[in-house]
């Protein structure tokens, strides 16, 4: 008995694809219009006695259609069609085949090098505090969380790295701080997306208050119930790290300001306020240096209040209406005296009131003064 074997080439062979009807797929050429988000496709070398179909699809194990498709009739002389797309993803391909059963198909992917288009669709669940991203195309990339600092450098957070493939990537219990970002690394390239950069989700604020006597306080306000580490640290030219001096752990209630007394001079150029949220898995280590300390006057007659507004921001209320009324009376009397060139009548002492009135606060009271307005009052009294 004699046996033998012969290897028959598939339709991938260029010679068979050009001459055997069952292997003819047609030849596709395209022109991309990025402004209109359109692809103009031209078909050549198709079967003469068969219609031809075209579509856009996302390539994975199979090519899943996007809904954009067209049919070229065999009797049509013009074999150009326009297909619209939403995003130029690297897995977005043009697929063509003869309109018959089990016809072989051809695919071309005009955006296969546009890897940067994958890093969109980052979402944040405010209730669960979960930061998520799902790839629109299968991709091999490393996803990590980082904190944006000086010179747009984004330092990776510890234990905040996952490998992407086809599934959804989720980081649970994430603090929505403007400095916290998501980094995508594919090959030797990296891209950074900062979903909280506009500060829409920021839930806490801190401000340094300094009195004329040198006493300093840190005023904190949180829109949610959370735990924070608040401290003073000092930077030096010898070490890039900020050496801690005093650190406190603070349990904050929603919309209830807290005043903290910390050792160390926060108003010095090399001193920084360091705040970190402790009740989450991933948080930014916020370092606020070169602080603009708000001057706090100890005098009771120049007191004002910093209450918490409904949206969680700190606001300062100045009581200047009584002072304005008295200033107007003084100016009018002075002008009348000057016109009559006579001795000015004595001013009623009942009209002289402090420039700033003390107002009640729901939580705490902090004194703030404006020396320039006090000087204006003294000048007007001297003129009168």
Domain ranges in the chain?
A: 14-108, 115-193, 204-296, 321-383
Q: Taken in order 100, 104, 110, 113, is the CA torsion positive or negative? A: positive
- How does pLDDT run across 265-279, given as a tens digit for each residue? 777 778 888 899 999
Q: What is the mean pLDDT of residues 158-187?
A: 93
Per-residue pLDDT, 152: 78
Torsions phi, psi of 351, nearest 5? -85, -10
- How does pLDDT run across 299-310, given as a tens digit for each residue? 433 333 333 333
Residue showing tokens 């005043």 = 259
Sheet containing strand 204-211, strands side by side: 258-260, 216-222, 204-211, 294-296
Token pair recorded at residue 224:
């949610």
User: If one looks up domain 115-193 in CATH, what number appears?
Assistant: 2.60.40
Q: Is a pLDDT exceeding 50 seen at residue 9?
A: yes
Which of 369 and 8 is assigned the larger pLDDT?
Answer: 8
* pLDDT tier at 282, thresholds 50, 70, 90: very high
Per-residue pLDDT, 142: 95
Residue 218 and residue 126: Cα distance in Å, rounded? 27
Opening angle at CA 264, ends 271 and 363, nearest 5: 105
Q: Which of 62-71, 78-87, 349-358, 374-383 has the lowest mean pLDDT?
A: 349-358
- How does pLDDT run across 209-219, given as a tens digit for each residue? 877 666 788 88
* pLDDT tier at 26, thresholds 50, 70, 90: confident
Opening angle at CA 201, ends 181 and 363, nearest 5: 130
Q: Is a pLDDT exceeding 60 seen at residue 226?
A: yes
Per-residue pLDDT, 41: 96
User: If one looks up domain 204-296 in CATH, what number appears?
Assistant: 2.60.40
What is the helix (H) or strand (E) element at residue 160, kind and residue range?
A: strand 154-164
Residues above pLDDT 70, as percent of the chain: 74
Per-residue pLDDT, 329: 60
Q: What is the mean pLDDT of residues 224-251?
A: 86
What is the helix (H) or strand (E) element at residue 322, kind and residue range?
A: helix 321-340
Closest to 17 measured CA to CA, from 6, 30, 1, 28: 28
What is the CATH architecture assignment of 14-108? Sandwich (2.60)
Residue 365 and residue 367: Cα distance in Å, rounded? 7
Highest-confidence range of 7-21, 45-59, 206-220, 340-354, by mean pLDDT?
Answer: 45-59
Contact 117, 90 (CB under 8 A): yes
Contact 209, 316 (CB under 8 A): no
- How does pLDDT run across 97-145, given as a tens digit for each residue? 999 888 889 999 999 999 999 999 899 998 899 999 999 999 999 999 9
Opening angle at CA 116, ends 110 and 121, nearest 5: 110
Strand ranges inside 215-300, DSSP E: 216-222, 226-234, 243-252, 258-260, 271-277, 286-289, 294-296
The tally of CA atoms less than 13 A away on the side-chain side of residue 380 is 20
Closest to 259 measured CA to CA, from 368, 369, 366: 366
On the question of a common fold for 115-193 and 204-296, the answer reads: yes
Q: Which of 28-37, 60-69, 148-157 has the lowest mean pLDDT?
A: 148-157
Per-residue pLDDT, 271: 84
Per-residue pLDDT, 371: 39
Per-residue pLDDT, 265: 77
Which of 14 and 379 is assigned the larger pLDDT?
Answer: 14
pTM of the model: 0.67
Q: Taken in order 74, 79, 83, 89, is the CA torsion positive or negative? A: positive
- How does pLDDT run across 336-378, given as a tens digit for each residue? 756 665 444 444 333 333 333 333 333 333 333 343 433 343 3
């Amino acid at each position: 008995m004699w046996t033998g074997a012969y290897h028959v080439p598939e339709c991938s062979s260029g010679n068979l694809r050009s001459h055997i009807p069952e292997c003819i797929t047609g030849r596709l050429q395209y022109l991309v219009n990025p402004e209109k988000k359109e692809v103009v496709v031209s078909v050549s070398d198709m079967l003469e006695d068969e219609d031809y179909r075209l579509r856009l699809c996302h390539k994975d194990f199979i090519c899943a259609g996007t809904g954009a498709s067209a049919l070229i009739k065999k009797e049509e002389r013009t074999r150009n069609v326009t297909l619209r797309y939403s995003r130029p993803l690297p897995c977005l391909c043009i697929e063509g085949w003869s309109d018959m059963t089990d016809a072989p198909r051809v695919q071309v992917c005009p955006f296969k090098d546009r890897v940067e288009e994958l890093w969109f669709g980052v979402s944040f669940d405010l209730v669960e505090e979960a930061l998520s991203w799902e790839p629109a195309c299968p991709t091999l990339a490393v996803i990590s969380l980082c904190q944006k600092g000086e010179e747009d450098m984004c330092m990776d957070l510890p234990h905040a790295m996952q490998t992407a493939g086809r599934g959804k990537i989720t980081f649970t219990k994430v603090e929505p701080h403007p400095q916290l970002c998501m980094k995508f690394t594919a090959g030797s390239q990296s891209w950074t997306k900062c979903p909280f950069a506009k500060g829409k989700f920021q839930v806490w604020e801190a401000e340094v208050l300094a009195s004329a006597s040198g006493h300093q306080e840190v005023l904190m306000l949180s829109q949610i119930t959370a735990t924070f580490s608040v401290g003073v640290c000092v930077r030096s030219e010898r070490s890039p790290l900020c050496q801690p001096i005093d650190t406190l752990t603070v349990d904050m209630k929603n919309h209830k300001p807290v005043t903290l007394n910390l050792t160390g001079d926060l108003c010095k150029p090399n001193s920084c306020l360091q705040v970190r949220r402790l009740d989450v898995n991933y948080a930014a280590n916020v370092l606020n240096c070169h602080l603009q300390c708000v001057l706090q006057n100890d005098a009771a007659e120049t007191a004002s209040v910093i209450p918490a507004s409904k949206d969680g921001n700190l606001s300062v209320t100045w009581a200047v209406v009584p002072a304005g009324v008295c200033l107007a009376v003084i100016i009018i009397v002075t002008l009348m005296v000057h016109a009559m060139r006579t001795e000015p009548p004595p001013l009623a002492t009942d009209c002289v009131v402090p420039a700033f009135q003390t107002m009640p606060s729901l939580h705490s009271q902090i004194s703030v003064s404006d020396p320039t307005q006090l000087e204006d009052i003294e000048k007007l009294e001297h003129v009168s």
